[in-house]
Structure 1
Amino acid sequence: MNGLLVGRSAELSKLVRVLESAADGTAGVALVGGDAGIGKTRLAGELVAEARERGFHVMVGQCAELGDALPYLPLADALRGAEPAVREAVAAHPMLGQLLPGHDTGAPSAGLTQQRLFGSLLGLLSDVQPVLFVIEDLHWADRSTRDLLVFLSRMLQSERVCVVGTYRTDDLHRRHPLRAVLAELKRLPSVTNVELGPLESGEMSDYVTTLGEVDAQELGLIVSRAGGNPFYAEELFAAMSEGDSLPDGLASLLLSRVEVLSEAGQRVLRAAAVAGRRVEDELLREVSGLPLAEFEEAVREIVSRGLLKVQGYGYAFRHALLQEAVYTDLLPGERTRLHADFARLLTSSAELAHHHLASHDLAGALAASAQAGREAERLGAPAEAHNHYDQALGLWDRVEGAEELAGESRAALAFRSAVAAADSGDNHRAVTRLRALPPTSEVDERLAYYLFETNDPPGAIAAAERAVESAEDAPSLARALATQARTLLWGPRHHEVEPLTARALETARASGAVDAEVGALLTLASYVENRGDVARAHSLVESASARETGVLAMDLRARFHHARIHYEQGMLAQAAEVADAGVKLAVDTGLNWSTYGTDLRFLRLLIHYVAGEWDAAEAVAAGFGARVGTLSEAILSSFALFIEVGRGLPAVEARLEWLRPFWHDALATYMSRGMAAEHALWNGDPAAALDHVHAALATLDEGESGTLRLAAVGLSAMTELGTTEGADDLLARARFAATRGPTGEFVQLGPEGQAWALRVEAEWLRLQGRLDVELWRKVVAAFDFGFVYEVARTRWRLAEALLAAGEREEAQEQWSLAKEAAGRLRAAPLEAALLEFGRRARFGGGQPEGALTAREVEVLRLVAEGLTNREIAGRLFIAQKTVSVHVSNILGKLDVATRTQAAAAARTHNLLS
């Protein structure tokens, strides 16, 4: 690498800004594109040096032209070459260790291996931050590496991590798989795009002069011939320095530098080109066929001319263009023989398959492809596993003894291929593959599962019935019965669920099929819970949660439902204990971002929120990124609004803006617009609140319990607006949800549901101008199962009713209790409302007449801590001038002259609680 970077200061500045943001706690991704030889690697190298100067850990990995043959190659490359601190941290994330030689985590876990691997990498990056992770040559990346890049780009939020990927723009043909990925990533706000164009002639002149001495004529010739491409310029300069003539075209120029090598040197370089961009020393020596002394002399010659460079225990081409030029120049027979030589010596199944195919050894290719598929499964690369299996199946009829070579039957291999397709997210392809197989219970059971996932209940039910009919042993029958019950759960034949699960449980317990037993228990629990038998559902889920199935998805699902039922029954301590165990299992296994991993985390947030542990809730919510790009991210992000709206945090508006594009989805709309309604009410916009309520209600079916909270908020908004239009319909819908449930049958609500049902009735009477003290007392008592915030909000309304009834002393007592709770929670909007109510009611026991706003209370707390205006501005994310205005208002309202006096007055009047 030359000491001076020429003509790329603007591009480097963009990358450094991403690095600086990462250092400050805002993760970022940069994509560096440009033609071959334009200087992407040089620029990335400059950023690496800058990162090391700033104390970053650096990981650098490179994709290879073998593409999908070697999953996660750049990640494995980066881990192998990482700094000692990073390699030591890998020990805490064993899923990553499987990418390194000599590590094996055993059999894959039901399609979750990739999720575990991704979660483990996220954990590693969090452990060793700040980190710069560079992935070079993304145009050659395998599917799993592309998926990993997308995952990191979406999941990294507040970590001090910078990810940089480089790619060749001239390699991206219209159907190149990277094109869609780049288009998706460039829409994300966390992604910075850097395009490298040709250097200007003046910049190119400056660059050439950094290479060595050159006269004006030679300089002009190099600049005119290089066309702004630094690598081409380097090759032209090297050729001139060696006294060579300058042929037309870069490929010819590169080959002219190869042709001056000795015969042994050319032989070694051609063998290296067949190996790819890099090759181990011992392997290259074996394939070259040269005696050791002659081989080493040839390599020394190649390295001295700058064609190969020493890298680890082997060699790498100085530039991919050189490798491509040498490889393309090989004669067909020569290329085939060299590929066969590598196939004879290699141990990696993926590389073996590549070289066997290139050498036309179909039998070897089939055997290696089948094994490569199994290895890709183990690594958590389902897309590559599917491709390898399909490659083996494509060769099956062209090879004698295919089953013996593959190590299993054609049907077994095709089944593996289908499951791998589903695990990579392509359920439709999995369904197609399974339908082409001879029907067996296992095939039909998987087919039913995938059809159910792709929203084809009739097809799923039919497949599950066939699976039950054709089950060849008890474990297969148990799984088929459990799957059949699941397909019937939400349809018109739901009455068949209980007898089916009973049969499944009996069969599973007799045969030891624990996964089928737990699956049947969870399905039955959902069935009885939806029919109001919560106690039985609780018992069933507790039994399911107590069993270890060895299937992580099932174990996490059981823990989630166990914690959820505890939560819905108001058993917050027990819910927290089970949820914590589930979250720990998800984190320990790298499944923090799996479906049930995220479900457990948002449930944990809700438990913290209800229990009044708002600092802990805010800490959990911080992991639910606001910068969302997918529906699942949007739904998860919506849960952070509970704490952000409750505390009136500035993040609410930005989060809602990011969630707005997902309001076409029912759950995202219900979650985010329901909380947007409360936010609008706190901010004095009841009309907007009512709009949000109606939009959220439109996503719910009749009888769903979520109706109750929305109805309460909607009726409150109507009271503020002074309108009763639509109130009767809202009340009727809420009463139906409180008594009949989604199935239209009688339902027994849990404690929170009962409390919201009472709140609806009380809000309805408030809308009519009737403040029913006894009803508001019942609402307070109903929420007092542990819902700290809602007890405080309800005490506010109870205080209003008591004051209107002339019970001033008790009204002030309820108001004080509410204010104390709001202060402890730092629920700024509720605090502001209570202070305003207390001012109008002349409560406060000597509280100053000019009541402080919620923001002024926040500022006063920080003043009392001794913070300066600048520090307060930084803490609250507001302008320093705004802080100064708040402080002036506080001094005036408290009738004091100094900040110290203000802090003392605040303590005297109990304003800091």
Structure 2
Amino acid sequence: MSGVLIGRAAELAELTVAMERAAAGGAGAVLVSGDAGVGKSHLVAALTRAARAQGGAVLVGQCAELGESMPYLPLADALWTAAQPGAPEADEVRAALDARPVLKGLLPDGDGGPGAASELGQQQLFGAVLGLLGELGRDRPVLLVLEDLHWADRSTRHLLTFLCRVLQRERVCLVGTYRSDDLHRRHPLRPVVAELLRLPNVTGVEVPPFGPGETAEYLAALSHGAAPVTAEVVERVHRRSEGNPFYAGELYSADPGPRDGAAELPSGLADLLLSRVERLSDGGQRVVRVAAVAGRRIDDELVRRVSGLDEAAVGEALREVVSHQLLVPHGTGYVFRHALLREAVYADLLPGERTRLHADFARRLADLPAGTRGSAAELAHHSLAAHDLPAAFAASVRAGREADRLGAPADAFEHYERALELWEAVPGAAEAAGTDRVRLSLTAAKASARAGEARRAAHRLRRLLDVVDPADVALGSTIREHYSTYLLDLDELDEARAVARDAVAMLPADPPTPGLAWAEAAYARTLLYTDPDGEMPGMAEKAIGTARAAGASGAEAALLVTLGMYRESREADSGVAELFARARDLADAGGDSPQAALRARFQYARTKFDRGDLAGAASAADEGVRFALDNGVGWSMFGIAMRTLQYLVRYTTGDWAEARGIAGGFPLQVVRPYEAQVSAYALFVEVAQGSPVVAERLRWIAPLWGEDLLANYIARGLAAEDALWRDDPREALEHVGAIADPFYGEGASFLRIAATGLWAHAELAARGRAAGDGDAVRRAAEAGDDLMRRVRRAVAVTFDGQPRTWLGLEGHAWVSRAEAERARIDGVHDVELWRKTADLFTYGDPDGGFAYEVARSRWRLAEALAESGDREEAADVWRSAVETAERLEARPLLAVLRDLGARARLGGTAGRAAPASSGRLGALTGREREVLKLVAEGRNNREIAAALFISPKTASVHVSNILAKLDVASRTQAAAVAHREGL
């Protein structure tokens, strides 16, 4: 790890600039700050290596935690180290020291006794230091590093101030490092730093903690490639270390892998953290221990009560703890500066002391008014730690219900889970919870699904089916209804249908009940995808009657959405948007099913989107996202779908700044499948803009491709596009081939992927033709035909083989794009096909539609027009595409457009002067250099003509002129010249 510098490019750049300024005769100082373990020394070591590599003199000294007993310790350390035999600066430093006895006396082998340094005249010594640095800097720049200035003695602080003030034209760069977390309010270095940073030649560099990606890179470097570092390990280590590299390394070395609870702190790290606490007074240590039991955050009033100190003593203790930056004021209370400090203090408590403190907190929390926000969760935590299981159980159930009300399903699930774990240990658990164990488990499963963990919810309900009382058919049906829904979310279509059918069969048809209505709604939804007996839509119509009779408005809304989707796919019903809106209003009026209301909202917005009403889709998606977040279902299946649709609308309309803002809420470092699904959508803009973050995002998503069908589809489809922009069609086809699941491979969603695959095959066919490889061209054509067969099937039928009557505007555009790409495989740039594609992507609005895809299609259209000889229209189309690509900052597209403009002489490029060229190529015109480059690639005259949109005869004339001007006899010799000249 010594030579690896991660995540510190900006900080190293600042230090490098200061060193370069010093080399030019502008002395200066840089004060590098950061928490202990954040990597200050690692950063400065990179600077010292660079300085030595460039011939600079380097002196490095360190302070030690010795108080005032060793004056000028870092200076003495730097001089002693630099003067050792074998050091690059040894001779120069020794000579300079011999000429300055006052400095030589600081060294262990100097003439001064052990305490002589403290008796030296300060002015004389300071002048000697300045003279030594000036002398060393005569022939090369000098880097003087003083590490750990938070431990500096008074004399060293004075020397630091002196040098920062007087160094002006010397070729010296002074770098000092100190721990910002050690600079409490009364620390003697604190005013010195504040004073020095006001000087014009002194700058401050703060070394921040790592972000999640940098932690991942750091752990990968620590592992030395022995085994891949999983996303779960990265997430766990980064969360606990809070990005501190030293803490992260220690935690990673002790990480036991997946298990319940976090690994214990390594003893060395715990000792380091506790050493800061041991400097406090008894009262300060008491307050820190109480705070550790309270948690990461502690209320001011609670810490005062539980500490047992009187008002004056607790106030003084808090001031001391805060001044040492162990606790930091936050709102009306305090938080630990670092979570690991809290862990270390908590682990150091005696078992009895820990239990008593938890019990004290629990008693005081129990006295709070009922309904105090967050108190139930805290009470459950402290009661459990105090071994009061009945109190912990009751508080956990209350905390789960409170979290549910507040729209925090992930927290609700954790609280319910804790209550279920305690169930057997608590007498009268059902009475205390107000429900039985199976129903509480069902509630926990529903919370889990709303939090995005559909697989976990399904697994829990599968187990509940084995323990539910067979006589309780209503409960058994309800469990199956929800189980079917989660299976459907997980694309387990056949099992979902069978389970939903059982849920319906368990209940009598008369009288109609809400339970039956919901079971029928779940069953109807499964029939959208697998309806072997043709039960839809008759079954849905009948179920709507059941729901109305039972007063189950949420179930009725769900059935209306299902019926609308059925009609849309099979009957081309133009009124589905209104049907979805009616379902939304019905679910809102019922108020008991936010999931049904959200599903209706999504289908309403999606319908607007599919029909090209982008403004209406944007408005509906924005409202849907607000609804999802307000109701705590942002990570449910349709919560995710609504958030990603909101992003896709902006991506389509070309409002990419807004799209990036929305994607800011999509995680980059993902560890769960549903996070990977959301993250994948951010790739739409990132790939189109050629963002460097694409590779990192794909690295995080890749391990989860096999766990989420939609994440696999979105991410690999865009990875294929990214590979094509990088001119790697074979990698693109690997991604296209991996999206082979029939769920997408035979559906309308596959159209975009098919078009991408055809683009890749067209590139391979072009390479084959250029190389005279007929087999490669034939293979590309056969693969293209196979993709087109799948495209035509997707257009003709739905998932279950029924005739398709509605495809959507974007779907028709992708079909046209696929046809145009298939023609390119045969070497045909079909003007009309590309014109049709561009027009279809406008969605009927010449100035609107799918902005990026219109521009991409116009790139190919301009290319086809130029090849056909219609340069005027080609130039118009080309300029329109360039304008859009520039506005969108779509760098890969802009690059190929500019290349096309140069080759085809569009956009006024023909009149531009060719760049000057020296050497043997100096006599060639700009066009001749373009021709020579293609000659060097092995192209014949016909291929050169096609690439540059000129006639083969003109290409032949250019080649003849090139041979004459270069005074060579053959194309091979001309190519050799081109390679030698770097063309």
TM-score under structure 2 length normalisation: 0.54
- The corresponding residue for 1:382 is 412
Q: Which whole-Å CA distance do the structure 1 matches of 2:366 and 2:678 have between them?
A: 51
1:152, CA displacement in angstroms? 13
2:818 partner amino acid = V
Is structure 2 residue 603 aligned with structure 1 residue 561?
Answer: yes
Displacement of 1:450 in angstroms is 2.3
- Selected match of 1:779 from 837, 840, 848: 837
Partner of 1:797: 860
Q: Which of 813, 819, 832 is equivalent to 2:882?
A: 819
Matched letter for residue 179 of structure 1? A
One-letter identity of the residue aligned with 1:624: F
Alignment check: 8 A CA contact 1:566 1:574 kept:
yes
Correspondence for 1:708: 751
Q: Distance between the aligned counterparts of 1:841 and 1:169, measured in 2? A: 57
Q: Distance between the aligned counterparts of 1:716 and 1:482, measured in 2?
A: 42
Residue in structure 2 matching 1:727, options 775, 784, 787? 784
Does 2:216 correspond to 1:177? Answer: no
Distance 2:386 2:695 in 1: 61
Q: How far apart, in 2, do the equivalents of 1:658 and 1:278 lie?
A: 31
The residue that corresponds to 1:656 in the other structure is 698
Residues 835 and 343 of structure 1: CA distance in aligned 2, closer, same or farther (over 3 Å): closer
Contact 2:555 2:596 in 1 (8 A): no
Q: CA distance change for structure 1 residues 150 and 769 in 2, over 3 Å: closer, same or farther?
A: closer
Partner of 2:551: 512
Contact 1:634–1:659 (CA<8 Å) still a contact in 2?
A: yes
Give the corresponding residue for 1:607: 649
Alignment of 1:482 with 2:527, yes or no, is: no
- Out of 794, 799, 813, the position equivalent to 1:755 is 813
Q: Is the 8 A contact 2:400 2:413 kept in 1?
A: no
> Within the alignment, does 1:394 sit opposite 2:419 as a pair?
no
1:273·1:323 contact (CA, 8 Å) conserved in 2?
A: yes
Match of 2:716 in 1: 673
Counterparts in 2 of 1:479 and 1:837: CA distance versus 1, 3 Å:
same
Mapped to 2, the partners of 1:360 and 1:801 lie a distance apart of 77
Alpha carbons 2:416, 2:440 under 8 Å: kept: no
Determine the C-alpha separation between the residues in 1 that align with 2:571 and 2:263. 47
What are the residue-to-residue correspondences of 1:488-887 with 2, within 5 Å? 488-493=527-532, 495-531=534-570, 533=572, 535=574, 537-547=576-586, 548=588, 549-550=590-591, 551-588=593-630, 592-664=634-706, 665-697=708-740, 701-722=744-765, 723-725=777-779, 726-748=783-805, 749-785=807-843, 786-845=849-908, 848-849=911-912
Q: What amino acid is the match of 1:552?
A: P
Task: Indicate the residue corresponding to 1:884 in structure 2.
Answer: none
Cα 1:368–1:721, aligned 2, differ >3 Å: closer, same or farther? Answer: closer
Report the equivalent of 2:116: none
Which digits, 9 at most, give the CA deviation of each residue in 1:403-427, with x for residues without a partner? 6665556776565566567667542
Q: Once superposed, what is the RMSD of the aligned Cα atoms? A: 5.9
1:366-406: CA deviation from partner (whole Å, max 9, x where unpaired): 7667656645655643345424643674367x55xx76665
> Relative to 1, partners in 2 of residues 1:782 and 1:154: Cα closer, same or farther, differing over 3 Å?
farther
**One-letter code aligned to 1:789:** Y
Contact 1:485 1:497 in 2 (8 A): yes
Kept after mapping to 1: 8 A contact 2:721/2:732: yes
Q: Assess if the C-alpha contact under 8 Å between 2:420 and 2:437 holds in 1.
A: no
Distance 1:825 1:152, change over 3 A: farther
Where in structure 2 are the equivalents of 1:382-461 lying within 5 Å?
Answer: 382-387=412-417, 389-390=419-420, 393-394=423-424, 407=434, 416=443, 425=453, 426-427=456-457, 428-433=459-464, 435-438=466-469, 439-454=472-487, 455=492, 456-457=495-496, 460-461=499-500
Aligned identity (percent) is 37
Q: Deviations over 1:45-80 (max 9, x none)?
A: 759989xx99xxxxxxxxxxxxxxxxxxxxxxxxxx
Q: Secondary structure at the match of 2:756?
A: helix
Superimposed CA distance per residue, residues 166-225 of structure 1 (whole angstroms, 9 cap, x where no aligned partner):
99999999997323799xxxxxxxxxx9971546xxxxxxxxxxxxxxxxxxxxxxxxxx
* Partner-residue secondary structure (3-state), 1:705: coil
Distance 1:302-1:761 versus aligned 2 partners, 3 A rule? closer
Going from structure 1 to structure 2, the CA distance change for 1:679 and 1:492 (only over 3 Å counts) comes to same
Query: Taking structure 1 as reference, are residues 697 and 407 closer, same or farther at Cα in structure 2, changes over 3 Å only?
Result: closer
Do structure 1's residue 469 and structure 2's residue 526 form an aligned pair?
no
Q: 1:662 to 1:279 in 2, by over 3 A?
A: closer
Larger radius of gyration: 2
Deviations for 1:105-144, whole angstroms, at most 9, x for unmatched residues? xxxxxxxxxxxxxxxxxxxxxxxxx9999xxxxxxxxxxx
1:855-898 Cα shifts (integer Å, max 9, x gaps): xxxxxxxxxxxxxxxxxxxxxxxxxxxxxxxxxxxxxxxxxxxx
CA shift in 2, pair 1:556/1:370, >3 Å: closer
Residues 540/166 of structure 1: CA separation in 2 closer, same or farther (3 Å cut):
farther
**1:144-176 superposed Cα distances (whole Å, 9 cap, x missing partner):** xxx9x979979999xx999x9999999999997
In structure 1, C-alpha distance between the alignment counterparts of 2:317 and 2:840, rounded to whole Å? 83
Classify 1:494/1:234 alpha carbon distance in 2 versus 1 (closer, same or farther; 3 Å): farther
Residue 145 of structure 2: aligned partner: none
Structure 2 vs 1, CA of residues 453 and 151 (structure 1 numbering), >3 Å: closer, same or farther?
farther
Secondary structure (helix, strand or coil) at the match of 1:179 reads coil
Runs of at least 5 residues in structure 2 that lack an aligned partner in the other structure? 1-32, 43-178, 191-207, 212-231, 370-374, 766-776, 844-848, 916-983
CA contact (8 A) 1:279 1:314 kept: yes
Q: Conserved in 2, the CA contact under 8 Å of 1:11 and 1:196?
A: no
Are 1:712 and 1:756, in contact at CA under 8 Å, matched by a contact in 2? yes
Deviation at 1:750, TM superposition (A): 1.3
Alignment of 1:290-439 (within 5 A): 374-375=401-402, 377-378=404-405, 380=408, 381-387=411-417, 389-390=419-420, 393-394=423-424, 407=434, 416=443, 425=453, 426-427=456-457, 428-433=459-464, 435-438=466-469, 439=472
8 Å CA contact retained: 1:628, 1:658: yes
Deviation at 1:231, TM superposition (A): 8.2
* Aligned-residue offset at 1:705: 1.6
Number of equivalences: 652
Q: Give the partner amino acid of 1:776.
A: W
SS of 1:738's equivalent?
helix
Cα distance between partner residues in 2 of 1:275 and 1:804: 74
- Structure 2 equivalent of residue 12 of structure 1: 36
Give the CA deviation at 1:850: 6.1
TM-score (norm 1): 0.57
Q: CA 1:739 to 1:434, structure 2 compared with 1: closer, same or farther past 3 Å? A: closer
**CA distance in 1 between partners of 2:300 and 2:903 (Å):** 85
Contact 1:277-1:320 at 8 Å conserved across structures: no
Contact 1:674 1:693 in 2 (8 A): yes
Paired residue secondary structure (1:196): helix
- Letter in structure 2 aligned against 1:718: H
What does residue range 56-71 of structure 1 map to in structure 2 within 5 Å? Answer: none
In structure 2, relative to structure 1, the CA distance for the partners of 1:359 and 1:521 (3 Å cut) is same
Structure 1 residues 360, 154: CA separation in 2 closer, same or farther (over 3 Å shift)? closer
Distance in 1 of aligned mates of 2:240 and 2:567: 37
Matched residues in 2 for 1:824 and 1:620: separation?
19
Gaps of 5+ in 1: 1-8, 19-42, 55-129, 134-146, 183-192, 200-227, 240-256, 259-269, 289-294, 853-913
Instruction: Name which structure has the greater RCO, CA cutoff 8 Å, separation 6+.
Output: 1
Say if 1:489 and 1:829 are closer, same or farther in 2 by CA, change over 3 A: same
Per-residue Cα deviation, 1:503-528 (whole angstroms, up to 9, x for no partner): 33223334432211221122223333
